[in-house]
Structure 1
Amino acid sequence: MSNEPLRGSSVLISGASVAGPALAFWLHRYGASVTVVEMAPALRSGGQIVDLRGVGREVVRGMGLLEQMRAARTPTDGLRLVDERNRSRAFVPVEGFRGDGPIAEIEIGRGALSEIIYDAAADDVEYLFGDRIARLDDSGEGVVVHFEQREPRRFDVVIGADGLHSATRGKLFGPEQPFLRHLGSYVAWWTVDNDLQLRYVAHLYGEPGRSLVLRSTERNTRALAAFTFNERPLNYDYRDTELTKNIVRSRIAGMGWEASRVAAQIEETPDFYFDSFSQVVLGSWSKGRVGLVGDAAYCASPLSGHGATISLVGAYVLAGELARHAGDVSAGLASYERVLRPWLASVQELGRDEGAKMMTPESALGVAARTRLVHLFEHLPARLRPFMVRPQIRVSNGFVLPDYSALGPIPA
């Protein structure tokens, strides 16, 4: 029988993407009463494809959800670099990288990943959709949360799992600009017709300062477009969808390959997303009884390839340290940061250095060099491929999960 160290504790989590439901899963296991508030009217479907890497897979295994996620993954055999006539110039396969190569073994839609984690504890966690936190009053003994739509409630702990533009972080530390490290480029995702009839593959076309990826989704019936371009920080409202669509139209104009075709579908797409490649850099991930997890605390940007992984690992460690220090919220939040911060620094470094160079080279020479590197991957024996991406594999597996098994029931 578990001692359930958090029994009697109440926790509010803001955000129901990946980190929020994962944290709710683990906190419930340790006996806490958990509520998740999400501004969207329902769990969000769709979204970009994310990777499960290294230690992130181990967290999912501990949740008993690994096989479900394997079954729900978006199958991809590899990444093909093409020219403007869609002729293959180089190909990097999934196999041969121990699951953690340029294309991860498990790539899954963010919405599907969120839904699997949500379903695993939905009957035990209270979800408040269509609402958000308006104000936080932390007395030191508890946090009174004022919602926009509901009556105020008191919680022992409040955790922001609300992404890169975290409103919870804003309430703790003020406007986001001082905490965002712009990496010099932007990205847009949207679903398009699979005009190239891609089958379980991603195609990448590059020009100096901009790249376009198309990959098959929805059992090859559709494709996901990802357009990136290099630019200094722009002054825009990320919530203004029409404005951000116009930004993408202007930057993709004149690009070769399939660019004009996919740009024409921006207006009608149901799932357009645009934002900067940025990292969150904070001196502290908590204040009083309010903490942050996932992108809200330490976004490494999609360039790191570890967004979902750090959300899952962060949720696991945060819940475990709160349980380990049951009754002392400050100690639990401080320990969570102390345990996790060194590894998170290495993930962010990977996103700044390796990811930015590979995604959108600045020059024609850089585009050609990327093609040559991928061509080398293609012709290396499988046993040698991991050596070509050692920094990435090292980071993916560079954190030893603390053992919290004595604090809660073992999963079935």
Structure 2
Amino acid sequence: MTRRGDAPRVLVSGAGVSGPVLAYWLTRHGFSVTVVERAPAPRRTGGHAVDLFRPAMDVSERMGVLPRIEERAVGTHRMTVHPERARRPVRVDLAKILGAASARHVEIMRDDLSAIYHDATRDDVAYLFGDSLTALSPDGDVRFEHAAPDRFDLVVGADGLHSNVRRLVFGDESRFSAFIGAHLGVMTLPNTAGLDGELLLHVGVGRTAGLYGARHLADARALFLFRSERAVDHHHDVPRQRELLRRAFDGLHPDVDRRLDELDRTQSFYFDSITQIRMDTWSRGRVTLVGDAGYSPGPAVGGSTSLAVVGAYVLAGELARAGGDHERAFPAYERAMAEYVRGSRAAALGAARTLIPSSKLGVLGLAHGARLISALPARPRRALLRLTTGTARLHDSVSVDTYPASTEVPRGDGVTGDGVTE
């Protein structure tokens, strides 16, 4: 593992989104960073689509990677909604809605985003792929599955909703997880419909199935959201997960049935409960958490990717401001992110209610409400969406400040300021 002179050594667990962003900013503030990742290599299969709202795009622009992100944008601009048992679909100009809802927004495949952030850091950061932590003390003593034991000045868990770092330092996930009443499934399948920039939705009471594609994607992505009274704890039982999806969406529409027929042949499949992580503190000793590991608002509904990018940026900035003193930096980081985290949780609950209607009226409201909004003139459309679209409104209200760099940085990357404000 590399060491930059006497620079504080930081171990980051997780090379998804928040891990590389944190590593980028820490190296520019003078820290020596190692990122450990369980996967054998950077994931470049596409994953599922995630949203970057204005504050995360601002951070990405300061990193110099925004042009690459915009090049890989999914670019969904049309939506066709099929309410269950309705005779005709509802067609929506999604570009008008997205443009009015958020001042700055892009949708990108998660693995594309992760690869872009990794590429921006690979020359300055030591990546340890194909390994994971087996033991970790609050003082920074670390044992790996494969690498030799080591000691770091700071350790950060950027390892997602089911964080290994959180489990090792704070205890079992069940102490902090709050199920919000829904599940998410995503899979790849052949893009036989030739989808490019269009989202197809089939919506019934308690269940929503989507399909989308883009020109640069080899396959289409099928999305499944459904309500459930209890969280399904089958993280590693893929056959069981597939059976649950089939049961939840049985009879919604023949097109959805055909997508489910691909479950046993798909090359990529993801399934999880939509769960929030709620902790009183994200730090203990020399260890802290960032992104979904510490404060997930729930996958697919709360803008968790934008929250993770901003959280990583703020954590690095507060550590730089405190000169690496975690006893000052960690509380400042938590204070700076607290309101943003609380707002994201609330927005996620509202988004889940809208995306997975609990009544027939809600089904019709989702379809025809979206069409009505897209048909309005620009000014009233913008005003109505700001009243009704909690997630975009929340993220657009957040201002990301800048921090002083402790090392020489490329032009445009120098930063000063106070974290996150709303």
Give me the TM-score of the superposition, normalised by structure 2: 0.90
Q: Is the 8 A contact 1:303 1:355 kept in 2?
A: no
Deviation at 1:277, TM superposition (A): 1.0
1:255 correspondence with 2:252? yes
Q: What residue is the counterpart of 1:129 in the other structure?
A: 129
Change (3 A) 1:404 1:99: farther
* Cα distance in structure 1, aligned partners of 2:160 and 2:167: 11
Partner amino acid, structure 1, of 2:41: A
Matched, 1:325 2:326: no
> Structure 1 pair 219/163, CA: closer, same or farther in 2 (3 Å)?
same
From 195, 198, 201, the counterpart of 2:195? 198
The 5-angstrom pairing of residues 301-340 of structure 1 reads 301-340=298-337
Residue equivalent to 2:186: 189
Amino acid at match of 2:260: A
Q: Taking structure 1 as reference, are residues 65 and 108 closer, same or farther at Cα in structure 2, changes over 3 Å only?
A: same
1:397 aligns with 2:396: yes
Alignment of 1:117-266 (within 5 A): 117-139=117-139, 143-219=140-216, 221-266=218-263
Q: Where does structure 2 lack aligned partners over 5 or more consecutive residues?
A: 412-422
Cα distance in 1, alignment partners of residues 108 and 98 from structure 2? 18
Q: Does residue 371 of the first structure (1) align with residue 370 of the second (2)?
A: no
Equivalent AA in structure 1 for residue 393 of structure 2: R
Q: Tell me the distance in 2 between the aligned counterparts of 1:189 and 1:332.
A: 37
Match of 1:89 in 2: 90
SS of residue in 2 equivalent to 1:73: coil
What is the SS of the residue equivalent to 1:21? helix
Q: Is the 8 A contact 2:38 2:132 kept in 1?
A: yes
What is the CA–CA distance in structure 2 between the aligned matches of 1:6 and 1:275, rounded to whole Å?
42
User: Given that residues 48 and 186 in structure 2 are in contact (C-alpha distance below 8 angstroms), is that contact kept between their aligned partners in structure 1?
Assistant: yes
Deviation, 1:389, is 2.5
**Could you give the per-residue CA deviations for residues 212-239 of structure 1, whole angstroms, max 9, x where no partner exists?**
0011135365311001110022342212
RMSD: 2.1
Amino acid of the residue matched to residue 8 of structure 2? S
Please say if 1:342 is aligned against 2:342. no
1:58 aligns with 2:92: no
Task: Report the AA paired with residue 13 of structure 2.
Answer: S
Residue 162 to residue 327, structure 1, CA distance change in 2 (3 Å)? closer
Instruction: Determine which of 240, 251, 269 is the counterpart of 1:272.
Output: 269
| In 2, Cα distance between equivalents of 1:244 and 1:218 | 29
Task: Name the aligned partner's letter for residue 73 of structure 1.
Answer: A
User: How far is the alpha carbon of 1:101 from its aligned partner?
Assistant: 4.8
1:190 Cα offset (Å): 0.4
How far 1:260 sits from its partner (Å)?
1.0
For 2:378, the equivalent position in structure 1 comes to: 382
- Is the 2:10–2:32 contact (alpha carbons within 8 Å) kept by the matching residues of 1? yes
Task: Name the SS for the 2:137 alignment partner.
Answer: strand
Question: How far is the alpha carbon of 1:269 from its aligned partner?
Answer: 1.2
Cα drift, residue 280 of structure 1 = 0.6
Tell whether 2:290 aligns with 1:293: yes
5 Å-filtered alignment, 1:25-40, equals 25-40=24-39
Deviation, 1:93, is 1.9
SS in 1 for 2:216: coil
Measure the CA separation in 2 of the matches of 1:80 and 1:7. Answer: 57
Alpha-carbon distance, 1:96 to partner: 5.5
3-state DSSP of counterpart to 2:257: helix
Would the alpha carbon gap of residues 220 and 383 (structure 1) be closer, same or farther in structure 2, given more than 3 Å must change? farther
Unaligned 5+ residue runs, structure 1?
Answer: none
1:374, 1:277 → 2: CA distance? 24
Q: Residues 193-216 of structure 1: CA distance to partner in whole angstroms, max 9, x if unpaired?
A: 223332311011101111100111
Deviation at 1:86, TM superposition (A): 9.1
SS of residue in 2 equivalent to 1:377: helix
Q: In the alignment, residue 154 of structure 2 is paired with which amino acid? A: V
Distance 1:138 1:343 in 2: 26
- The secondary structure found in structure 2 opposite 1:197 is coil
Report the AA paired with residue 67 of structure 2. E
Assess if the C-alpha contact under 8 Å between 1:6 and 1:326 holds in 2.
Answer: no
Cα distance, 1:307 vs structure 2: 1.6
1:92 Cα shift? 3.8
Q: Tell me if the contact between 1:42 and 1:130 (Cα under 8 Å) persists in the aligned partners.
A: yes
| 1:251 Cα offset (Å) | 1.6
Q: For the Cα contact (< 8 Å) 2:179–2:231, is it kept in 1?
A: no
1:44, distance to aligned residue in structure 2 (A): 1.6
DSSP 3-state at the match of 1:217: coil
Aligned length: 403
Where relative contact order (Cα < 8 A, 6+ residues apart) is larger, the structure is 1
TM-score calculated relative to the size of structure 1: 0.92
- SS, match of residue 258 in structure 1: helix
Q: Distance in 2 between matches of 1:78 and 1:408?
A: 45
CA contact (8 A) 1:303 1:359 kept: no
- Residues 1:73 and 2:73 aligned together: yes
